[in-house]
Amino acid sequence: MKKLMTMTRQFRDDENGAAMVEYSILIGIIAVASIMTVLAIGGWVNGRFSALCTALEAASVGSCNATTGVGT
């Protein structure tokens, strides 16, 4: 019985897994933040290229297809 109690105390006091869980949560937060940043920047870049395409067509310099990126 004493050995069981000793093993139970050792298991309770062991904190090796806690650091791994904390780092896993941190990596998850960083991954979500990175994905959100890439999506936000992608939307901004898409808007800028669409505006450029519209300006080029208005100036009769050329035509472009904003959805496929093909231009003349």
3-state secondary structure of 14: coil
Per-residue confidence (pLDDT) for residue 9, from 0 to 100: 82
Maximum alpha-carbon separation in the chain: 89
Summarised one tens digit per residue, pLDDT across range 10-62 is: 877 777 777 788 899 999 999 999 999 999 999 999 999 888 888 888 888 77
pLDDT above 60 for 69: no
Confidence of residue 8 (pLDDT cuts 50, 70, 90): confident
Per-residue confidence (pLDDT) for residue 27, from 0 to 100: 97
Single-letter amino acid, residue 65: N
